[in-house]
Every structure is written in C-alpha cells, then in structure tokens.
Homo-oligomer: A and B are copies of this chain.
Amino acid sequence: MTYYGLHALQHRGQEATGIVTSDFDFTRRRPRFLTHKGVGLVADVFKDANILKDQLRGRSAIGHNRYSTTGASENKLNIQPFVVNYRGGNLALSHNGNLTNFKTLRERLEGEGTIFQSTSDSEIILHLTARSRKENQIQQIKEALETVEGAYSLVILTDTSLIAARDPHGFRPLALGRLGDAFVVASETCAFAPIGADFEREILPGEMLVISAKGGSASGGDEAEIRSEQIAPSNPKLDIFEFVYFARPDSELLGKSVDAVRKNYGIQLAKEHSLKADVVIPVPDTAIPSAIGFARASGIPFEIGIIKNRYIHRTFITPDQHVRERGVKAKLTPLPYIIAGKRVIIVDDSIVRGTNSRQIVKMVFDAGASEVHFLVASPPVKYPDFYGIDTPQQEKLLAATKSLEEMRKFLGATSLHFLSYEGLIQATEIPENQLCTSCFTGVYPIDIGERAKEVRKVDF
C-alpha cells in the first residue's frame, strides 16, 4: 500500500525514497521496525519485489519521497523516514516542509551535547521527542511540535500508533483516507485512488491525529481507531504554489480540484489579455488545463503542439555546457505541422529562472512560428520560498531583477503576459487570507528569522 501511495506522490520528491514498517516480533515479544531506503525513484528503489513482500512486513507503515530543501542531497543519512530507538520505544518520522527555527534549536541541542546524524531540519523533532520528560510518546511528540516553528506535514510511526500532524498554518497539504477498517494519510488525495482508499477529509492546520489498533496493543486486532486533538489554534495559509505548480492535477485541495483551478487560471488569463493568434499550445504537462481554459475562453484552437518525452527523469544525465540546449531538446519537441506559419500562444504555469522558457520560445520560432506570445498562468515569482519548495536565490529569479519588457526581450517572445495577482486569487476561489502567497508578494506569514537577510523588496 505504502509503495503504491509513494508512487502516486513521486512528483513531490524524486531524489530518494524509503519505507518503514512496524512489525511485531512474536519470537522476542516486542515491536520492531523494518526499513528500506535508497537514492532514486520509488520504482527503482523498490524494484526487487521481495523487499515489499518479505522484508517490509508489518501492520502499519510510513514512507517518504525526498525533495531536498535543507540538508545535502548526496548525504544518505538524510533519506527519510528517519528511524530511531530511544527510551520510549521505536520512532519513525516523515516530514514535508521546512522548520524556520531549525538553526536556533539545533544550536541549543548541540550545546547540550546532542549528536546529530543528518543535516536535515527534520531530525530535530526526534531529539525533542526523546528529550521530553512527558510520560508517553504521544505527549512527547506533542511537546516537540510545540517547540518547532515553520511548515510541517508529518507522519510518525510509534510502536503502537500512526500519528499525523500539520503545522498551525497548514502550508503543505495532508489528507486522511479510509480503506475498509483502516486509515491512510497522504500528502495529496491523488494517492488514495490507486490503493482503493476513499478521501475522508484534510488534516486541519494545528491538528494531530493518533491512529491505533482498537484496544491499543501493538500485536492486536485489525480494526483501527482514531483520535484527534487540536494542538495549536488554526491559522490556515496553504501555499498557493501547490495550485500553481506543485500538486498533481487529480488532487483536491481545500475542496477544489487542482485541475479545475488551473483551468480557471487559463480562463482568467483570457479575460485579462485579449490576443490575436492562430493556435494555443501548452508547455506540457502542468500548463495543459490552463491552455485548455484559455483556448475555450478565447476561442483560439487548442493543440498539443509540443511533445514531451515520457522517459525524462532525474537519472537523465545533464548534458555538458557546450550542448546546453540539448536538455530542453531531449525533453520537448515541437510539431511543425501545427506551428509553421502560425501565430502561436504558448501557455506555461510559471516562470522561475526563465532559462527553459527562453529555449522553448526559440524552439517554437525554429519550427516556423510567425509570432510567439508567451502567457504565464501565474504572476511573476519575485521572492524565494522558505516553507518547503526549493526555489533558487532571489537574484536568480527572472522577475526579481527584470521588468516585464526586459523579461520579454530575454525570452525573445513577441509578447509576454502574466496572470495578475488579483486574477490569481479570484480564480483560485479561496479567500486570500487563507493562502500563503509569499513567492508573489514577499509577505511571509511566519518570521523567517535570519534568512530575512536573503530577501529584498522588488519594486517593479
């Protein structure tokens, strides 16, 4: 189950993956945790079916796909779930998000003699739990979560329970599903269908769920029970980038279909920008619904005019500098029969560095387009993220250093248009104060501490 779930969530992290199961060792009459982790995609790390069948036995499990935002990606000790055995028993943890007071806490604990194994911010939660004086694991974890700040969607496995928790702002998604008598927790709802589970509800910002076997014994029956506790007041700030780019289109966030929201972005784009063109083409895959929305609202024909190679993943070797353009060429091919002699509108989901977009514009002109209008289904990204998405330093963000016209020239496009910020909020159909929009506005809901030095206000 966990394997299929991780596979459905592969887009959230492609560097490394792992699964931990909680098994009851009847010979030694105590729980034990079984682990398999590795660098690469889910299908590669678990390609030996025996790992799943024989090695990862047990009644409950958690997994993790790694996408590094803190902690060196080459360090194998940084692959989650983290597993430890401490006074309170076994503990495994998977964390999505970034802790903003990580440095302060790490220095404090190191000052008290704690030895860290990884360079990841997530490890801090384990040490805080192990050092808690509270009498049971649930209380210890709760105390640890009261100490950390920032973004965290967590699943934790103990000897007796599966715990799910989300920070008070709910920056990153986390959802609860049901599969017969059992419960399932996943970052996105798209993980439920492949395992036959039904989406129940989102874990609330500030909520902690404790799922255990009815009766409570680690070696006990199959039926699960669930307890919820609001461990901090909810102040929701879902990262709007989940809608713009990160989440899978077949997921649902705050009651909205991600695909439908992206289509709305395209419709809104058409309202804001009236263009004359012969064909609307998405940059595959994220921008497809926005391009369909734009085409329908504008009346300009939609075409899949750029084909994406279906086998491009992380293991693909990045070409050398002197063949720099090959990266995009190996990934995307234009269809001249659709493009040649046409006024083309390209729709993309967002512009970050702008280097790929520039190559796409060139590629479409090379395929014979007479005009290339570049439309972006989100506002300019002017500020870096600190809550769990790996954006480059601010000076590498195209919109942080260039005006609209400068950007258009950089891309080499006939025209360049962004969705307005107001249009974005309106098309998302969620109140602005329930969203984190820091990438566009520079407004950070949680103090980012000393990292504030990395950000300056962008004035144009």
Interface residues of A (CB under 8 A from B): 3-4, 7-8, 10-11, 41-44, 46-47, 49, 52, 84-87, 110-117, 126-127, 130-132, 190, 193-196, 248-250, 257, 259-260, 285, 288-289, 292, 296, 301-304, 307, 309-313, 315-317, 319, 323, 326, 329-330, 333-338
Contacts and interface: CB of A to CB of B under 8 A. Distances in A.
24 contacts: A3-B317, A4-B330, A10-B309, A41-B311, A43-B316, A84-B116, A84-B117, A86-B113, A87-B113, A113-B127, A113-B130, A113-B132, A115-B130, A190-B333, A194-B326, A196-B323, A250-B335, A257-B336, A259-B307, A259-B335, A260-B335, A288-B304, A302-B302, A311-B313
A207 to B, nearest CB: 26
A84 B114 CA distance: 10
Given A10-B309, A87-B110, A195-B326, 10 more contacts: A7-B311, A7-B316, A10-B310, A43-B317, A44-B315, A194-B333, A257-B336, A260-B335, A292-B304, A302-B302
A196 B326 contact: yes
Contact of A4 (B52, B84, B326): B326
A112 B47 CA distance: 40
A190 B334 CA distance: 10
Contacts of A43: 311-313, 315-317
Nearest to A140: B113
B196 A309 contact: no
Given A117-B117, A130-B113, A337-B260, A196 B329 contact: yes
Q: Which 3 A-B pairs have the closest CB atoms?
A: A113-B131, A87-B110, A250-B333
A225 B41 CA distance: 43
Contacts of A46: 317
A194 B47 contact: no
Contact of A52 (B116, B317, B330): B317
Contacts of A302: 292, 302
A86 B116 contact: yes
A132 B313 CA distance: 45
A10 B319 CA distance: 18
A331 to B, nearest CB: 8
A274 to B, nearest CB: 22
Contacts of A190: 307, 333
A300 B367 CA distance: 29
Contacts of A84: 115-117
Contacts of A111: 87
Given A113-B132, A259-B335, A8 B42 contact: no
A110 B130 CA distance: 8
A105 to B, nearest CB: 13
A323 B4 CA distance: 12
Contact of A114 (B10, B130, B338): B130
Nearest to A82: B115
A118 to B, nearest CB: 10
A250 B307 contact: yes
A310 B307 contact: no
A283 to B, nearest CB: 14
Contacts of A4: 319, 326, 330
Given A301-B296, A310-B310, A330 B127 contact: no
Given A86-B113, A115-B86, A329 B257 contact: no
B309 A289 contact: no
Contacts of A86: 110, 113-116
Nearest to A87: B110
Contacts of A333: 190, 193-194, 250
Nearest to A323: B196
A132 B112 CA distance: 8
Most chain B CB within 10 A, of A47, A85, A127, A304, is at A304
Nearest to A42: B311
Contact of A335 (B127, B249, B285): B249
